[in-house]
Amino acid sequence: MGSIVVAKNLEKSSKNEGKIEEKMFSLSEEIKQDTYSPKIIGFLCNWCTYAGADLAGVSRFQYPTEIKIIRVMCSTRIDPVIILETLYNGADGVFIGGCHLGDCHYITGNYHTMHKLDMTKQLIEMAGLDKNRVRLEWISASEGQRFANIVKDFTEEIKRLGQSPISASLREDKKDEKILRTIKIAKNAAMSFRLRSVVARIRKSVDEGNVYGEKVSQEKFQQLMSQLIVEEYIRSGILLTLEKNPKTVEEIADEIDIPTEIIFKNIARLWKKQVVLPYGQKGLSPTYMGGIR
Ligand code: FES
């Protein structure tokens, strides 16, 4: 019986993935065609917030129409890459709604959502966007009025922040290569195995502790995470820059707007692991290309 439910859930979520792509595509198309209006994508967990939204609807609680809702089985289905991809496709805001802590139908799903969102917000800031463009809220099935109020508040906040520089730059005449590149770097960093495995371990290390009951303090973990996020962002930036042509350290630094000495240190580290290899010379400076990934 359990496996039938799981199979049905998987089927539903794969159908939803198709819908996510469809909605993202229509979003960027609308922006390109200059029919822009503020856009918010809301990913709502099936069991709590989606039911809360449903209740808001049947109870006739008014909430802004700027939000386009996508139903997912659990808030933790929303991977950091999906959030960054949604912003890359021109959303001005991303809303994630899940069950209250302790109420997740997959036991600890929403704890993981919370930790993943912390990482995503840091990457969003590094990419040059306001982290308040993404909001996570816990709303239960019985909180229809609360859902309407939160959506109203978030929509007002997005309006205050104005059009996302990414959605503005999707128009040919306003193309801003820099912001498109930085969000792509953030997305690549979010895919990093190292980062993902550390985020997956936060709950074990901070909330639960190891087999001896030893816990790492939240502050210590945050510090390590922030350092790792910066390292992965720089690494992804270097690799993205070297994707097409070999470049010098100065050229890489210039392209991703990071000081030369930091790039130099990271190139040396990546060279050791053969992720970046020396290629040739431009004037007096050596050039590098991408190596083994
Ligand atoms: S099922 Fe709702 S957040 Fe996991």
**Span of 28-42, 89-103, 212-226 with lowest mean pLDDT:** 28-42
| CA dist 35 → 28, 139, 167, 243, 246 (Å) | 10, 32, 12, 34, 39
Q: Is 141 in the pocket of ligand 1 (CB under 6 A)?
A: no
The percent of residues above 70 in pLDDT, for the chain, comes to 86
Is the Cβ atom of 109 under 6 angstroms away from ligand 1?
yes
Determine the atom of ligand 1 nearest the C-alpha atom of 113.
3
The answer, yes or no, to whether residue 6 has pLDDT greater than 50, is no
Q: What is the pLDDT of residue 16?
A: 53
- Whether ligand 1 lies within 6 angstroms of the CB of 72 is answered as no
Residue 74 CB less than 6 A away from ligand 1: yes
Question: What is the domain class of 177-290 according to CATH?
Answer: mainly alpha
User: Which residue of 44, 78, 105, 142 sits with most ligand 1 atoms within 8 Å of its CB, as the best mutation to test the pocket?
Assistant: 105
Instruction: Answer whether 263's CB lies under 8 Å from 280's CB.
Output: no
**Where do the domains of the chain lie?**
40-171, 177-290
In which band, very low, low, confident or very high, does the pLDDT at 206 lie, cut at 50, 70 and 90? confident
CATH fold group of domain 40-171 = Rossmann fold (3.40.50)
**Residues in the chain, overall count:** 293
* Residue 216 pLDDT: 82
pLDDT tier, 94 (very low <50, low <70, confident <90, very high otherwise)? very high
Residue 205 clears pLDDT 70, i.e. is over it: yes
Rounded Cα–Cα distance for residues 30 and 90 (Å): 9
User: pTM for the complete prediction?
Assistant: 0.83
Q: Which of 50, 108, 110 to mutate to test the pocket of ligand 1 (most atoms within 8 A of CB)?
A: 110
Which tens digit of pLDDT belongs to each residue from 144-191?
999 999 999 999 999 999 999 988 887 766 778 888 899 999 999 999
For residue 129, the tally of other CB atoms under 10 A from its CB is 22
pLDDT digits 0-9 by tens, 219-255 = 888 898 999 999 999 999 999 999 989 999 999 999 9
Q: Give, in order, the Cα–Cα distances in Å from 136 to each of 92, 119, 143, 208, 219.
A: 15, 13, 15, 23, 21
CA angle 6, 12, 17 (to 5 degrees): 125
Report the residue among 103, 139, 140, 147 best suited for mutation to probe ligand 1: largest number of ligand atoms under 8 A from its CB.
Answer: 103
Q: How far is the CA of 106 from the centre of ligand 1 (A)?
A: 6
pLDDT attached to residue 285: 93
Mean pLDDT of 200-225: 82
Cα dihedral 144/145/147/149 (nearest 10): 170
**170 or 193, greater pLDDT:** 193
The one-letter code for the residue type at 17 is: E
Regarding predicted confidence, which is higher, 208 or 36? Answer: 208
Would you state the pLDDT for residue 176? Answer: 81
